[in-house]
Amino acid sequence: MLESQLQFRDAKDQPEAGLLLACARTQVTPEIADRIQAAVRKGIDWLALIRLAMRHDVMPLLYRNLQQVCPNSVPKNILEPLRARYEGQAVQARRHTEELVRVVSLMEADGIFVVPYKGPALAQRLYGDLALREFGDLDIIIRGRDVQKAQNLILSSGYDFAPLFGHLEHGDTLAVEVRKGHEVRYYHGSDHTRRIELHWRFAMPLACVKDDPERFFQRIERIGLAGKQVSSLSLEVYFLILCLHATKHKWRQLKLICDIAEILRRTDIDWNYVLREADDLGLKRMLAVGALLAEDLLDVVVPAPLAHGLQFDRMARALAAEVRLSFFEEPDKDWLDQAHFSFQVKIRERFRDRATMLCRNLPAKLSPDERDRDFLPMPDSFSSMYFLVRPVRWAWEKMNARYRRTTSVSPGLP
């Protein structure tokens, strides 16, 4: 097993966090079952546990494992609502899966190469049960040249376009989205719980991943979903793109690490392919952070070929420790936002990748936004001064964040 040597407050000593971590897996060994029972005997703040599980999107795994390991030890007024929620989400998951397959079938019939990923496709492929992995959006990836055609099909299916960058009154809104981003979002007009995210790249432009998505389309499989056969990514490709996706969110949700842990536990993975791709793309440190977190939080033994081939350097360990340090803290208003640019740069091991990211993204990072205007309101006539305000705001926020980290106290701190 890798020696992660992470320095952090030991959340595993907190009963609720320890119980959640023990339940956040599809396979429960006798040792883990004993840990679950021991945590319950210690006394659990059940409402705090439920809030934690909801924040980390692992409620189905929590319920399923409590039900199987120690149903009589969980208060009925806790277990019954968990069961009702689980069963309700299972029904919704099947309904959303049927909707996903319907839209994918429409696209395939129109000659669009389309792959559903994450969401139901990943739940079925990796967890073997649609109900065990929570999902909200229905993610679909296509080639960039087919975006307009795919949007026409989605709009004709009752969905409304929800642009991220532009305004609906602009006729070239979709072109703006394609130029600036890697996805667009649609909400169903009669049911806003049905949301489609249409992607033409797996990674956001900031990540500077070459040959995205074509290189990942080379390993496509077919799986059964809602009674139909659809395209799916191989688990090797999932390992790469899920690490990219989790990095975008700074690995803030346990669900993101559960996905990585479940792949690491598989015995049928071609780790040589993963390592070749990671080496070519400069993602070894990123994968190392994911492996460290999965090992440390979810007791995964990292497969020897992967452990030998990844870059478990000081920076990878420091970034994993940074994630872990605040993993079970109460979230702030920025919790679900994109990870800070500095984190996304430091997690890349090659200088040329970091330099490319800086060159491509520095102009946008230097442009003032609403946060600068809120930080120091000024008349419009002084708007050019916000280019000077922005670095001051950055420094102020960084100092505040560092102060909060160094002054926070946890009973688990050694």
Is residue 298 domain-shared with residue 400, that is, in the same domain?
A: no
- Using DSSP, state whether 160 is helix, strand or coil: strand
Is residue 38 domain-shared with residue 131, that is, in the same domain?
A: yes
Is residue 265 domain-shared with residue 414, that is, in the same domain?
A: no
Taking Cα atoms as reference points, which of 285, 277, 346, 344 lies closest to residue 310?
285
Amino acid at 230: V
Is residue 298 domain-shared with residue 371, that is, in the same domain?
A: no
The residues, ordered by sequence, that sit 6+ positions from 16 with a Cβ below 8 Å of its Cβ are 44, 45, 48, 49, 52
Return d(Cα 165, Cα 188) in angstroms, integer. 20
DSSP annotation string for 29-58: -HHHHHHHHHHHHH---HHHHHHHHHHTT-
Is residue 208 domain-shared with residue 338, that is, in the same domain?
A: yes
For residue 93, tell me if it sits in a domain: yes
Confidence band (pLDDT; 50, 70, 90) for 336? low
pLDDT greater than 80 at residue 267? yes
Q: Which residue has the higher pLDDT, 398 or 149?
A: 149
Taking Cα atoms as reference points, which of 1, 7, 82 lies closest to residue 413?
7
Is residue 319 domain-shared with residue 392, that is, in the same domain?
A: no
Q: Which residue has the higher pLDDT, 368 or 37?
A: 37
Is residue 272 domain-shared with residue 330, that is, in the same domain?
A: yes
Is residue 132 domain-shared with residue 274, that is, in the same domain?
A: yes
Is residue 233 domain-shared with residue 306, that is, in the same domain?
A: yes
Among candidate residues 342, 377, 399, the one where a domain is terminated = 342
- Using DSSP, state whether 341 is helix, strand or coil: helix
Is residue 236 domain-shared with residue 129, that is, in the same domain?
A: yes
For residue 240, tell me if it sits in a domain: yes
DSSP annotation string for 62-114: HHHHHHHH-GGGS-HHHHHHHHHHHHHHHHHHHHHHHHHHHHHHHHHHTT--E
For residue 110, tell me if it sits in a domain: yes
- The predicted model scores a pTM of 0.84
For residue 325, tell me if it sits in a domain: yes
For residue 301, tell me if it sits in a domain: yes
Average pLDDT, stretch 281-290?
97
The model's pLDDT over 271-282, given as tens digits with 9 standing for 90+, comes to 999 999 999 999
For residue 360, tell me if it sits in a domain: no
The model's pLDDT over 51-68, given as tens digits with 9 standing for 90+, comes to 999 999 999 999 999 999
Is residue 381 domain-shared with residue 281, that is, in the same domain?
A: no
Is residue 317 domain-shared with residue 376, that is, in the same domain?
A: no
For residue 29, tell me if it sits in a domain: yes
The model's pLDDT over 209-246, given as tens digits with 9 standing for 90+, comes to 999 999 999 999 999 999 999 999 999 999 999 999 99
For residue 2, tell me if it sits in a domain: no
Q: Which residue has the higher pLDDT, 190 or 370?
A: 190
Return d(Cα 76, Cα 333) in angstroms, integer. 34
Among candidate residues 342, 357, 390, the one where a domain is terminated = 342
Q: Give the per-residue pLDDT at 299.
A: 95
Q: Give the per-residue pLDDT at 71.
A: 97
Among candidate residues 342, 376, 393, the one where a domain is terminated = 342
Whether residue 57 contacts residue 254, with contact meaning beta carbons closer than 8 Å, is answered with yes
Confidence band (pLDDT; 50, 70, 90) for 340? confident
Number of domains into which the chain is organized: 2
Which domain range does residue 53 map to?
A: 11-143+200-342
